[in-house]
Structure 1
Amino acid sequence: MVHKADLVIIGISVGVAVGLLVALLIFFGIRWYKRRAHLRQCANERSVSVLPIRTNGLDTSFDTSASLSSSVTVRVSDYPAKNPQSSWWSHHSKDRFASASGIPNYPYKDIQRATQGFTNVLGQGSFGPVYKAIMPAGEVVAVKVLASNSKQGEKEFQTEVSLLGRLHHRNLVNLVGYCVDKGQRMLVYQFMSNGSLANFLYSEEKRTLTWDERLQIALDISHGIEYLHDGAVPPVIHRDLKSANILLDQFMRAKVADFGLSKEEVYDGHNSGLKGTYGYIDPVYISTNKFTMKSDIYSFGIILFELITAIHPQQNLMEYVNLAAMSPDGVDEILDTKIIGECNPQEARSLAHIAHKCLHKTPRKRPSIGEVSQAILKIKQRRLVKEDTMSFVGEEVSGVLNRIERQQTELRKMASIDERAAE
């Protein structure tokens, strides 16, 4: 009898142990599954895409990871085509994307009304028309319509909203909303009334930028890039810096725009092709297919020389720069003729010296964007001090002349009194 009781106790103990073991296995299995699902979701939300092949032409970006044979010119009509069967944006993905970005998603009809039926055209972008719009609250914005039949365009759209949803700086163009409705993908930006830097440098219809404006624009751009490289967490590499992507507000202050090619520095995906704009691309990136912050520095160096010379990178800018580098004052020969006489040659040489450092063939020898900002700021400060000094000297000379004039007046009065007394 005792023997049977022992067997029963042992059996119960074994059963309890097995039950506990099974329960633990189930518990850890569920935890593992949930953790894996969470990591997968995070990876999907943090994935960063790149910009596609763009229509060939001046200032166009490209992506050689796609087949060049499939690159075609797409005619964009005045009204965005409706494509309700877009498979990328399901209802679930739209909701998840909106909540992740924190940027308002406007209905199609609101954008249509704000752009006056898509008739208020500002210009033609690489991926479609850009419209001026007045939102219900009275805010003036720019609406960029992406091609509805481009899968790569959808990736650019996702990149822009994902990044600009968390990037905010006075020298970045703010994304104030987007539209994912009726098969359309539209980006709503703050309105930049003076357009792009490229238009001011190369369009005959625009007035000439003063040297002081060019220095301020260079400083503004550097501050925008500095925020991307040193202020954003994680840091962001723009990857398509060019004068066409620098926009100017009503006060001629510059802001960096177009983040379709941008990626977070921690992104470790495999790059399978060259991306960017001819004339601005770091030669080291071309040879290694590795884009770093120093590649952004190279592109900024090109923009600095654009500000100095008003010569487009796709019109042999670097040949002129290399020739000018043969003598200390060689930059004087390639200075924009429209500002000769107004521009201080020494300041132009100093800015060219900074640009040359940005273009150093060895990336690690290029300065950081913080160092570039400080160097440009010093040029601005020296200019302001000189202006203040000249103003002070001018005021002193004016004061002396006024005193001499007052003294002469007093002397004439005294002489007049003496003459009357003598009579």
Structure 2
Amino acid sequence: MVNESDLVIIGVSAGLALGILIASLVFFGIRWYKNHAHLRQCANERSLTTLPIRINGLETSTDFSASLTNSITIQQLEQPHKSSHFFWWNHHSKDRFMSAPGILRYSYKDIQKATQNFTTVLGQGSFGPVYKAVMPGGVVAVKVLASNSKQGEKEFQTEVSLLGRLHHRNLVNLLGYCVDKGQRMLIYEFMSNGSLSNLLYNEELVLGWEERLQIALDISHGVEYLHEGAVPPVIHRDLKSANILLDQSMRAKVADFGLSKEEAYDGRNSGLKGTYGYIDPVYVTTNQFTMKSDIYSFGIIIFELITAIHPHQNLMEYINLAAMSRDGVDEILDEKLTGKCYIEEVRELAAVAHKCLQKSQRKRPSIGEVSLAISKIKQRQLVREDTISFASRDFSGDVSRIKDQHVELSKMISIKESN
């Protein structure tokens, strides 16, 4: 007969064994879940978090977010048939973007036919070549992700996702995309006057002061929509003259959202992204991008409009030297504008740009304040032009009246002489 002490021992042993079994199941269950989640994350996000270092030249975006995993990523990019990027896109891109309003998906054959087998090249960027195409709705521009492009598929995905919900007259309109036959393409509205960079630094073309001031205002409206109109707000992170495009009416639109992020995004581990010469120094030291980082980049663009000096030609040194000079911005004004602009408006716009370039982000204005300041300069310009035009009309009338009086006087003299 089993005594009471034996029952206690058996009960404790059974309980202990059951506890060990449950603990083991929980341990292996958690371990399986973490491994499964890690594999899933690798499949979906490897291209998003470990892009290779990009330094593709003066006009291209740079990505300094190198890590120990970069070498693995580079090896994978060199093996396209085994790349998780292509695997992910081939299996998931269709479902991801089917819901993007107004963004159409095209087949490779559609684009090949529209571009006449990719014959008319409009330009070349870090993303790849840009071709002119004729669609049923009219002329468009097609950006093709080059097979050896340093700008990864993350940017492609970001561009489609963001522009599917962002719509403003001062943002370039994305009309469609193509993910087919291993190709990735973006279809945009055609901007016949190209980039601001090409216009500013083309010796054969002259941008007038009125056009430059309007371009600055257009850019401010586009960025204002991103920062204060979009929900959630968006930080562009790669504002530069090469990413400002102009339509047939010379109205400016902000383009290239491959590096953009929503404001709520935690960018502490994102690495340093942008274009040399336009990057906020505070962002460089803290690795934290904010709206005020976009403001700094916009300040650089404003000084480009005033001086036609590229950031890679020591623009900041010229700005700092001019700030210490008695004549200020007058000394670095683009020679093409000499004697052809109202210098007070130039100085006012330069003052706005200086505020954008403050070392402390806290002291920099918001884009709403910048847009308002430029709008006031534009309004004063229009008033001045109207005044000059009115004065010219009055002067013309006076001249006409003087001529009439002269004719009448001549007639009177002739009559008196005949008498």
* Shorter-chain TM band: 0.7 to 0.9
Match of 1:290 among 288, 291, 300: 288
Listed as ranges, the matches of 1:327-366 within 5 Å are 327-366=325-364
Query: What residue identity is the alignment partner of 1:145?
Result: V
Partners of 1:408 and 1:99 lie apart in 2 by: 76
**Cα contact 1:84–1:183 (8 A) shared by 2:** no
**Separation of aligned partners in 1, 2:151 and 2:212:** 35
Displacement of 1:408 in angstroms is 2.4
Q: Secondary structure at the match of 2:197?
A: helix
Paired residues of 1:105 and 1:179 also in contact (CA < 8 A)? yes
Name the residue aligned to 1:279: 277
User: Would you say the 8 A contact 2:209–2:337 is kept in 1?
Assistant: yes
Q: What are the within-5 Å matches in structure 2 for residues 54-133 of structure 1?
A: 54-67=54-67, 86-100=86-100, 102-133=102-133
Q: After superposition, give the CA deviation of every residue in 1:117-147 in whole Å (9 maximum; x if it has no partner).
A: 1111111110211111001x14111111113
State the Cα distance separating 1:102 from its structure 2 match.
4.5
Cα distance between partner residues in 1 of 2:382 and 2:416:
51
| Contact residue 62 and residue 274 of structure 2 kept, 8 A | yes
- What is the DSSP-based 3-state SS (H/G/I as helix, E as strand, rest coil) of the residue aligned with 1:291? coil
Query: Contact 2:55–2:63 at 8 Å: present in 1 too?
Result: no
User: What secondary structure, in the 3-state scheme, does the structure 1 residue paired with 2:87 have?
Assistant: coil
- State which drifts further: 213-222 or 336-345: 336-345
Scaled by the length of structure 1, what TM-score is found?
A: 0.81
* Distance in 2, Cα, partners of 1:83 & 1:170: 40
| 3-state SS in 2 of match to 1:284 | helix
SS at match of 1:229: helix
Match of 1:217 among 215, 218, 229: 215
User: How far did 1:148 drift?
Assistant: 4.0
Distance 1:51 1:237, change over 3 A: farther
Tell me: CA distance 1:310–1:181, structure 2 relative to 1, closer, same or farther (3 Å).
Answer: same
Q: CA deviation at 1:52?
A: 6.1
Aligned residue pairs, count: 369
Aligned partner letter, 1:284: V
User: SS at the partner of 2:105?
Assistant: coil
State the Cα distance separating 1:202 from its structure 2 match.
Answer: 1.6
1:22 alignment partner in structure 2: none
Residue 32 of structure 2 corresponds to none
- Matched residue type, 1:343: C
Please state whether the residue corresponding to 1:95 is helix, strand or coil: helix
CA distance in 2, matches of 1:155, 1:189: 18
Matches within 5 A, 1:12-411: 53-67=53-67, 86-100=86-100, 102-135=102-135, 137-148=136-147, 153-204=152-203, 206-268=204-266, 270-411=268-409
Q: Deviations over 1:275-301 (max 9, x none)?
A: 110100000001111100010000000
Provide the rounded CA distance (Å) in 1 between the counterparts of 2:51 and 2:172.
18
Relative distance call for 1:120 and 1:386 in structure 2 (3 A) is same
Determine if contact 1:50/1:155 at 8 Å carries over to the other structure. Answer: no
Aligned alpha-carbon RMSD (Å): 2.8
Distance 1:269 1:332, change over 3 A: closer
CA distance in 1, matches of 2:298, 2:118: 34
Does the 8 Å CA contact 1:131/1:143 hold for their aligned counterparts? yes
Is the 8 Å Cα contact of residues 49 and 156 (structure 1) preserved in structure 2?
no
**Structure 2 residues not aligned, in runs of 5+:** 1-39, 75-79
What's the secondary structure of 2:123's corresponding residue?
A: strand
Higher relative contact order (CA 8 A, sep 6+): 1
Gaps of 5+ in 1: 1-39, 73-81
Find the aligned partners of 2:171 and 2:48 in 1 and give their Cα distance: 19
Q: CA shift at 1:409, angstroms?
A: 1.8
- Whole-angstrom CA distance in 2 between matches of 1:199 and 1:337: 17
* C-alpha separation in 2, matches of 1:171 and 1:253: 8
Distance 1:319 1:264 in 2: 32
> 1:247-279 deviations in whole A, cap 9, x for unaligned?
111111110000000011112354241111010
1:51, 1:349 → 2: CA distance? 42
Determine the C-alpha separation between the residues in 2 that align with 1:115 and 1:140. 10
Q: Secondary structure at the match of 1:89?
A: helix
Deviation at 1:368, TM superposition (A): 0.9
AA matched with 2:287: N
Residues 60 and 126 of structure 2 are in contact (CA less than 8 Å); yes or no, is this contact kept in structure 1?
yes
Percent identity among equivalent residues?
76
For 2:407, the aligned partner's letter is: T
**1-structure distance, mates of 2:48, 2:369:** 28
Normalised by the length of structure 2, the TM-score is 0.82
**Distance 1:63-1:278 versus aligned 2 partners, 3 A rule:** same
1 CA distance for matches of 2:97 and 2:49?
15
Contact 2:50 2:65 in 1 (8 A): no
Displacement of 1:103 in angstroms is: 1.0
Separation in 2 of the partners of 1:101 and 1:139?
20
**In 2, Cα distance between equivalents of 1:398 and 1:330:** 38
**Conserved? CA contact 1:171–1:220, under 8 Å:** yes
Change (3 A) 1:251 1:83: farther
| Other structure's SS at 2:98 match | helix
- After superposition, the Cα gap between the structure-2 partners of 1:59 and 1:92, relative to the gap in structure 1 and judged at 3 Å, is closer
Deviations 1:18-39 (A, max 9, x none): xxxxxxxxxxxxxxxxxxxxxx
Amino acid at match of 1:363: Q
Structure 1 SS opposite 2:319: helix
Contact 2:107 2:180 survives alignment (8 Å): yes
